[in-house]
């Protein structure tokens, strides 16, 4: 029996519900918490918004498990730290990942702070990832064992201090074979609840429309420019384009062409050939070590670190060398040329199945 107190982040979905069940079964004293991050309009047929339904689902599971449940209103914190950062990045021609921003500032920031304020020893979530403690007492963040569900890419901001306070009970479980089965066996009403695929505050996936509505005006039109500098068309908002995009360009060309750059300062979108998307390296800033920072910095000082790197979630590891770049940035040099690296993306580096750290791409180097 643990008798340790843990705050379980309960989204109303099946993963976090089974997380709470497993921890209670293991003897932890569980406290459920659901974050209210947005305030969408209610569904006219039910009178409830999706957020209200999720809170109700989480509360029902907590009641079934006999654990207390709290609703934490983090709307202002979420708006300031996630939504505004997301909007600003898009308006600067970047390609941000709001789920990574949310994990850093909300789930393992504000929610972890709330857990400690409630006297909890740990925070637990339904992420598919794994932690372990090395013999020297340091912590390691591992990939989830099911490669289709592994979410370690989104968790690189878990520093040593955060890893020591975090539990991922679903490590080693299969979503369909194990998690849904456990939920059904326990009589959870959300056992077959569908997964949320979209960004939670933009459920229709129309990022540009959302930003325009928030700003109160449409994005300014501008030029679409070919690789030789000639203007080949007009766009109705540079924020509608991202590097590597091939469809919906608003330009008729005789062969497939791609977005190769978004110049927010001049409000232009640049097009080119597939070969124009190739890069041999990238630079990144806002770097965070998940592995022990002093160990990693020593390896950098010794000449660099061999890593497997991902700058997109579903990407396979790409062999690369991590070294110090100019101006305090990191320089990641790939063994093989890479395609469509977009500033604003998260880049995460691994050693085998262990997350070493990550940062935000600032530039692709040809």
DSSP state of 87: H
Is residue 200 annotated as part of the catalytic site, yes or no?
yes
DSSP state of 155: G
DSSP state of 177: I
- Determine which one of 30, 99, 102, 120 is catalytic: 102
83: which 2 tokens? 């939504």
Instruction: Give me the DSSP letters along 36-85.
Output: E---PPPPTTTS--HHHHHHHHHHHHHHHHT--EEEEE-HHHHIIIIIHH
**What would the 3-class secondary structure string for 199-248 be?**
CCCCCCCCHHHHHHHHHCCCCCCEEEECCCCCEEEEECCHHHCCCCCCCC
What are the two backbone dihedrals, phi and then psi, of residue 15, each rounded to the nearest 5 degrees? -60, -50
Is residue 215 annotated as part of the catalytic site, yes or no?
no
Beta strands in the chain (DSSP E): 5-9, 29-36, 69-73, 122-124, 129-133, 139-143, 166-167, 222-225, 231-235, 258-263, 268-272, 278-289, 305-310, 318-324, 330-339, 346-351, 354-365
Using the structure block, give the residue that is written with the tokens 């372990």: 132
- Determine which one of 30, 99, 120, 200 is catalytic: 200
C-beta separation of 69 from 32 below 8 A: yes
- Return the closest-CA partner of residue 2 out of 22, 31, 23, 20: 23
Local structure of 316: helix, strand or coil: coil
CA distances (Å), origin 320, targets 2, 30, 310, 337: 42, 42, 10, 10
Where in the sequence numbering do the catalytic residues fall?
102, 200
């Amino acid at each position: 029996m643990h008798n340790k107190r843990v705050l379980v982040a309960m989204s109303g979905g099946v993963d976090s519900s089974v997380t709470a069940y497993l921890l209670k079964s293991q003897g932890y004293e569980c406290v459920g918490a659901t974050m209210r991050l947005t305030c969408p309009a209610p569904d006219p047929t039910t009178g409830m918004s999706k957020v209200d339904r999720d809170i109700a689902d989480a509360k029902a599971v907590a009641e079934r498990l006999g654990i207390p449940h709290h609703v934490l209103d983090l709307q202002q914190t979420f708006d300031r730290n996630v939504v505004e950062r997301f909007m600003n990045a898009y308006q600067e021609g970047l390609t941000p990942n709001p789920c990574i921003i949310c994990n850093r500032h909300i789930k393992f920031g504000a929610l972890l702070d709330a857990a400690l304020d409630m006297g909890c020893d740990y925070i637990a979530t339904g992420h598919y990832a794994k932690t372990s403690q090395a013999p020297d007492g340091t912590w390691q963040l591992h990939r989830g064992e099911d490669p289709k569900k592994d979410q370690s890419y989104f968790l690189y901001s878990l520093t040593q201090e955060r890893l020591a306070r975090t539990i991922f009970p679903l490590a080693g479980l299969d979503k369909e074979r194990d998690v849904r089965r456990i939920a059904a066996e326990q009589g959870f009403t959300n056992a077959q609840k569908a997964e949320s695929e979209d960004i939670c505050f933009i459920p229709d996936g129309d990022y540009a429309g959302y930003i325009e509505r928030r700003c109160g005006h449409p994005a300014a039109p501008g030029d679409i420019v070919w690789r030789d500098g000639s203007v080949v068309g007009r766009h109705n908002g540079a924020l509608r384009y991202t590097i590597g995009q091939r469809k919906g360009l608003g330009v008729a060309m005789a062969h497939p062409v791609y977005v190769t750059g978004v110049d927010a300062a001049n409000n232009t979108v640049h097009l080119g050939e597939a070969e124009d998307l190739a890069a041999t390296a990238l630079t990144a800033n806002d770097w965070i070590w998940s592995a022990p920072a002093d160990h990693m910095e020593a390896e950098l000082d010794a000449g660099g670190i061999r890593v497997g790197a991902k700058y997109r979630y579903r990407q396979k590891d790409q062999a690369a060398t991590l070294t110090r770049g100019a101006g305090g940035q990191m320089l990641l040099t790939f063994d093989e040329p890479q395609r469509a690296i977009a500033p604003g993306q998260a880049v995460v580096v691994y050693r085998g199945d262990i997350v070493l750290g990550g940062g935000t791409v600032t530039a692709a180097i040809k």
